[in-house]
Structure 1
Amino acid sequence: MNNSRREFLKKSALAAGGAFMLASSPGLLSAGSSSKSAFDFKISLAEWSLNKQIFGGELDNLNFPVVAKEKYGISAVEYVNQFFADKAKDKQYLQELKFRADASGVESVLIMVDNEGLVAVQDDAERTQAVENHYKWIDAAAYLGCHAIRINLFGSEKAENNVEGWISAGTDGLSRLAEYGAEREISVVVENHGGLSSHAGHLTEVMRQVDSEYAGTLPDFGNFCIRRENNERWGDSCAEQYDTYKGVKELMPFAKGVSAKTYAFDEDGNESSLDYKRLLTIVKESGWSGGYIGVEYEGDSLSAENGIIATRRLLERLREELG
């Protein structure tokens, strides 16, 4: 790569980075490096942590890998398809995104896929369409060098009290996606992301029935609300909550990654709403090691920049303590 190209990438990162400087966080460049301890994981950055900046036009998806490395010292990224929703088949766009990641020494880990239909809906035709809508993202993930896409295993909100129907439809939809993914060596992972997908017991039953090495889970520490007020999938008020620690323990045997959701921190740098040491102990005791834990800050008490840094520091500290 020529010097002008390198300078372009550097300037892009600095422009998107704002006033927060790398020097303000000692040891930042060590993020994502492998530990030699028994409990080993790498750190990635979930793009959703910067959703306000991207939706607001302050950061472009193409620059996300550059910013992850230059600003946060994180050498692996998890994309969100909402930020390049019309680009799944745009080879020129994907080539540029891959180039910027590769040039920055950043690994593309996965693509989080939303708004492509209900993979666990009981209507056969609608479910088939949703499954086929996801194929292009599996292809895009393969091109970018990812190991997986993350999907939502949603059914009709009106029918989500039909557990057996959801499990049956979800097993069919995920099985077909895993079969397509296997042809491209891309795993299809399900996040606990609301509704019945946040009931870890039901989701693990789907995993057992699918029984594919290309299907798995992405346990998210903060998404165990099964039902919200007024039966809405999204919102602030949770009417029925699955036990977070029980849920993580149940999902870890199928995990192909972990999402470290954070909201707020105390003065000692601990997540104030979740017992992170307990959560990472569960991860360690599951035998899972060596993969990526994704930083996903979703709070309001800190800026996105500082929330990402606080989450990264917490993960690094606990990796050392639990190792």
Structure 2
Amino acid sequence: MGSRRSFIKKTALGSAALWLGHTGVFGSNPLIKSSYPNISLAQWSLNRAFFKGELNPKDFPDIAKNSFDLNAVEYVNAFYKEVAKSEKYWNQLKSTASAAGVKNLLIMVDDEGELGNPNNNERTQAIENHYKWINAAKLLGCHSIRVNAFGQGDKISLKNSLIDGLGRLSEYGAKENINVLIENHGLHTSDGKFMTSILKEVNNKYLGTLPDFGNWCLNAKWGSTQNNKCSEIYDPYQGVSDFLPYAKGVSAKSYNFDSIGNETFLDYGKLLKVVKDSGFDGYIGIEYEGEKLSEPEGIKATKALIEKVWLNLD
């Protein structure tokens, strides 16, 4: 039985390795690993390959470990909707991660309704839609799910709706020992002061944040600040600083790199200094979202940049 399992695993990884193949100029920095920050891989970094079926979601922990030498992962619910309520699937995925020596951190949850919907019935439905992902996160051994704090209405009514929606969801999370994390994803969710005021009102230790380096656009949903297309941006360094006291993860967004490996839009030196100076000791998740490099190359470039910058910070 053991040899058969080993054969299947090697076969699956072989096909993934063929796809990932070339390592390019952005290889791992050969420094002492004990000095490195904790780095994880967000599944969205490989979203094109997963959506096209070039990679299988059940192999994600093995891919993170064997292709990128990363020991922690962040799942995306879009790739698991058909198995969302399958305890068997989540238990098997947990076993896969455990066998690979990979830690399951969180599930990023999208498209389950607005937690700040002004309609109480629709807001309640959105809250309950998230329950299955909290249950899945618990089965996987994750510490959190990541949610979107979208909603409608003026700031006062929106704030009240979000206090209710996020408050009730985090109460359910507390029962299962799973955190509910807010990510800056555009519009009001990228207003650091506004969102942290909601966290203070809810006052539940199971409600936290997942600050993203790149999603600070205040006038567009999802908040991408790629290619300088956003006309109203919340200062990224202030936003990350606002979120860090409540952070249980950090999302290192990246888009493009120059010839020496620096991100061309985001100042990783400044961003990572904010993170390091805060005393944050959780995982920094690679979330490559660029188009010029392939997904594997973008992941490796982001990893090399995080390691290089972190080790040179005071």
Report 1:66-77 matches (<5 A): 66-77=62-73
**Alpha-carbon separation, structure 1, partners of 2:209 and 2:11:** 37
**Alpha-carbon separation, structure 1, partners of 2:29 and 2:46:** 18
Instruction: For residues 81-136 of structure 1, give each alpha carbon's deviation from its aligned partner in whole angstroms, at most 9, with x where no partner exists.
Output: 00011212112221221121111111111000001110011111111110011011
Q: Is the 8 A contact 1:21 1:71 kept in 2?
A: no
The amino acid of 1:128's aligned partner reads T
Q: 1:239 deviation in Å? A: 3.3
- In the superposition, relative to structure 1, how do residues 23 and 260 fare at CA in structure 2: closer, same or farther (>3 Å)? closer
Q: 1:30 deviation in Å? A: 8.3
SS in 1 for 2:127: helix
Report 1:7-156 matches (<5 A): 7-17=7-17, 18-20=19-21, 27=28, 34-35=34-35, 41-156=37-152
- In the superposition, relative to structure 1, how do residues 30 and 79 fare at CA in structure 2: closer, same or farther (>3 Å)? farther
Q: Is the 8 A contact 1:141 1:148 kept in 2?
A: yes
Q: Is the 8 A contact 2:216 2:236 kept in 1?
A: yes
Q: How many residues align?
A: 310
| 1:296 aligns to 2:287 (yes or no) | yes
**Alpha-carbon separation, structure 1, partners of 2:31 and 2:85:** 35
Q: Is the 8 A contact 1:29 1:73 kept in 2?
A: no
**Alpha-carbon separation, structure 1, partners of 2:75 and 2:29:** 21
Instruction: For residues 166-212 of structure 1, give each alpha carbon's deviation from its aligned partner in whole angstroms, at most 9, with x where no partner exists.
Output: 21111111111111111111110000011210111111111111111
1:284 pairs with 276, 279, 289, which one?
Answer: 276
Aligned to 1:317: 308
- In the superposition, relative to structure 1, how do residues 97 and 304 fare at CA in structure 2: closer, same or farther (>3 Å)? same
| 1:306 aligns to 2:307 (yes or no) | no
- In the superposition, relative to structure 1, how do residues 198 and 24 fare at CA in structure 2: closer, same or farther (>3 Å)? closer
In the superposition, the TM-score normalised over structure 1's length comes to 0.90
2:199 pairs with 207, 213, 225, which one?
Answer: 207
- In the superposition, relative to structure 1, how do residues 3 and 29 fare at CA in structure 2: closer, same or farther (>3 Å)? farther
Aligned to 1:267: 259
- In the superposition, relative to structure 1, how do residues 234 and 206 fare at CA in structure 2: closer, same or farther (>3 Å)? closer
| 1:171 aligns to 2:163 (yes or no) | yes
Q: Is the 8 A contact 1:28 1:73 kept in 2?
A: no
Identity of aligned residues (%): 46
**Alpha-carbon separation, structure 2, partners of 1:41 and 1:184:** 28
**Alpha-carbon separation, structure 1, partners of 2:237 and 2:310:** 18
Q: 1:286 deviation in Å? A: 1.6
The amino acid of 1:107's aligned partner reads K
Gaps of 5+ in 1: none
**Alpha-carbon separation, structure 1, partners of 2:311 and 2:231:** 37
Q: Is the 8 A contact 2:26 2:297 kept in 1?
A: no
**Alpha-carbon separation, structure 1, partners of 2:49 and 2:195:** 32
Gaps of 5+ in 2: none
The amino acid of 2:111's aligned partner reads N
**Alpha-carbon separation, structure 2, partners of 1:234 and 1:23:** 30
**Alpha-carbon separation, structure 2, partners of 1:313 and 1:227:** 32
- In the superposition, relative to structure 1, how do residues 61 and 256 fare at CA in structure 2: closer, same or farther (>3 Å)? same
Instruction: For residues 6-65 of structure 1, give each alpha carbon's deviation from its aligned partner in whole angstroms, at most 9, with x where no partner exists.
Output: 23212212212315257987557989x653xxxx73110000000100111101110111
Please provide the CA RMSD for this pair. Answer: 2.1
In the superposition, the TM-score normalised over structure 2's length comes to 0.93
